[in-house]
Structure 1
Amino acid sequence: MKFVEEVVVEEFLPTYRSLLAADLRDRGLTQSEVADLLGISQSAVSKYATGAVEVNDRVADDDRVRDLVGRVGSGLANGELSPVGALAEAEVLVRQLEQGDLLAKLHEEAFPPLAEYEGSFDVHDPESGLRASERVLSSVRSGLRTLEESPAFTTLVPAVGSNLVEALPEATRVEDVAAVPGRILDVKGHAAVPAEPEFGVSVYVASVLLAARRAGHAARAACNVRYTPAIVESIEDLGYETAEFDAVGEAERAGTADETDDDLDAAIAEALADTPDADALYQTGGFGVEPIVYVLGPDAATVADSVRDLAEAR
């Protein structure tokens, strides 16, 4: 009897690690850095990267494996993908290859009685919550890098600070939205990001995004920037559609309740009634409320690109 997990350990893992170690070394990482990212010893990295470990050519030549190596290698090297996220991506491909695919065929060859069985085993869900969360966090990290690397972005940071947020596909609460703890601030012309993104740490920007989604907007990400009439005009000059909503004060809540802000929902729903696909929402301020523009988009990386373009176009 031979389990498919044994095939993964004996055939897939050495091959995948060899390809990934070589990819990371080609990207300029040291053996020590590669070892830390992969959770293995430096001597193992040396063996993998130099081809001293036997690989399975069928696994190594599979386009999906090579695509995974490229995506994970790039994400780990630039910091947009965490080791946990890299593991989740690899696990999904492994489970896919186990379901009547390459690893299943290797399993049948290693254990011939399986060839007589025509059924399949649904071992793992490829759309796991872990994978979805890591993808959102990776997107926010990518967007933050874009904002940090744009000197012009700081001219758009409002007094209350900016935040870049992205929601899970089925988000309903603030806890389902990833953001920067605290705010992104302008520190001597540099966008200062205080910490790694995490879920449930944004109140108002996340609430605006969720309110837009409840009103039927397809956006999953948002970034708040400074408001002036000229900034709104610049957004429209770039070909984006804008919509104004009535200023609503920041809700005083811990971000854990299921209840929504009815006033905010109503204000945004009214604004989107005539412009349901608006690329940016804005309010011009009120008593104790700073005027703000909220740039919307399908993901944090795309929103960050839009904000960068806006900053550099002014």
Structure 2
Amino acid sequence: MSLVLPSELVVERFLPTVRAMLARRLADRGLTQQEIAAHLGVTQAAVSKYVGGDGAGDEHFRDDAETVATVDRIADGLAGGEFDGYDALAELVSLIRTLEDRGPICELHEEEMPELRGLGCDLCVRGLDPDVRTERDVLSTVRTAARTLAAIPGMPEYVPNVGTNVGMGLPDPRDETDVAAIPGRIYAIGGRIEIPANPEFGASKHVATAILAATAVDPDVRGAINIATDDGVLEAARSLGIEPLEFDADYDDREAHLRSRFDDRGEVPLVAYHRGAFGIEPVTYVFGGDAETAVELVHDLLGATS
């Protein structure tokens, strides 16, 4: 794991880019290299390099509209005498805070630390927050569940044509952005399971609506996976003491429909399925307390079919 602080990116990537942008803009406004060096707190040789460079700096900032606007504002202020060093610094500090709030600094941070991807990280803005730990735990659980799923013998045969997904919600999820799943779904390719990316929140609509319906009835049921409907799997569920719940495939509001059916049952069934409809592939949802538990049940169901 690489440990990179956002401040390192500010020093190593942001500041050199902004200095180069400012140097060229101040030169365009008629300032000498010596005057520019005094404003920027660098040597005249550095200014010469900045001014002579072509497209120098990091494109994350060089092409960012907010950065361009701030640099232009500072250049105008310094060249016209309305800004001093304090004013320029205040503008840059404000800009950095903006860029750390889901901006280019965030993008760079995720590139340098892939562990942050999918977290919707706002650590720089919000500070240490126990909710972030919960989000990380959910993402980790879904990641492990997906890898476990890929290793289940015979699993590719039960992946629907539209793909499958495994997801898990945060405690008391409000909407699909509180449910983590695999972006782009999981597919069976060449007899093996293909997991295209690490889990992210808001990555799945279908499995998320099933999880939201389940947690609305039983907050302890936060994980689910969809697989192809198969009579052998349904019989395997019954042999394990699980009575599958059949529901309609053709409905407008999936979450509301599932919640109503769960309410009718008086609980969230571990297995719920539909037989499909025109343009709708038959699908079975397998539920669990978390994503790993749901996948473990899939493993048991497939094992019981053989």
Displacement of 1:218 in angstroms is 3.2
Q: Tell me, what secondary structure is at the counterpart of 2:154?
A: helix
CA contact 1:220–1:299 (8 Å) conserved in 2: yes
Distance in 2, Cα, partners of 1:267 & 1:215: 10
Structure 1 residues 228 and 199, CA, compared in 2 at 3 Å: closer, same or farther?
same
Equivalent position of 1:150 in the other structure: 152
1:177 corresponds to 2:179 = yes
1:204 corresponds to 2:218 = no
Instruction: Give the TM-score of the pair, scaled to structure 2.
Output: 0.56
Equivalent position of 2:226 in the other structure: 224
CA contact 1:295–1:303 (8 Å) conserved in 2: yes
Indicate which of 219, 242, 245 corresponds to 1:243.
245
Equivalent position of 1:215 in the other structure: 217
Number of positions where the alignment pairs a residue of Structure 1 with one of Structure 2 = 190
Displacement of 1:267 in angstroms is 4.3
1:288 corresponds to 2:289 = no
CA contact 2:166–2:223 (8 Å) conserved in 1: yes
Displacement of 1:84 in angstroms is 5.6
CA contact 1:37–1:83 (8 Å) conserved in 2: no
Q: Which runs of 4+ in 1 moved over 2 A?
A: 36-40, 82-85, 212-218, 238-241
Point out where structure 1 has 5 or more consecutive residues left out of the alignment: 1-35, 41-81, 86-122, 252-260
Distance in 1, Cα, partners of 2:173 & 2:257: 19
Distance in 1, Cα, partners of 2:166 & 2:150: 12
1:302 corresponds to 2:304 = no
Displacement of 1:271 in angstroms is 4.4
Distance in 2, Cα, partners of 1:37 & 1:133: 20
Q: Tell me, what secondary structure is at the counterpart of 2:245?
A: strand
CA contact 2:182–2:198 (8 Å) conserved in 1: yes
CA contact 2:221–2:290 (8 Å) conserved in 1: yes
Instruction: Give the TM-score of the pair, scaled to structure 1.
Output: 0.55
CA contact 1:243–1:272 (8 Å) conserved in 2: no
User: Larger Cα Rg: Structure 1 or Structure 2?
Assistant: 2
Bigger relative contact order, structure 1 or 2, given CA contacts below 8 A and separation 6+?
Answer: 1
Point out where structure 2 has 5 or more consecutive residues left out of the alignment: 6-113, 118-126
Distance in 2, Cα, partners of 1:274 & 1:299: 21
Displacement of 1:186 in angstroms is 0.7
Displacement of 1:37 in angstroms is 4.8
Structure 1 residues 269 and 216, CA, compared in 2 at 3 Å: closer, same or farther?
farther
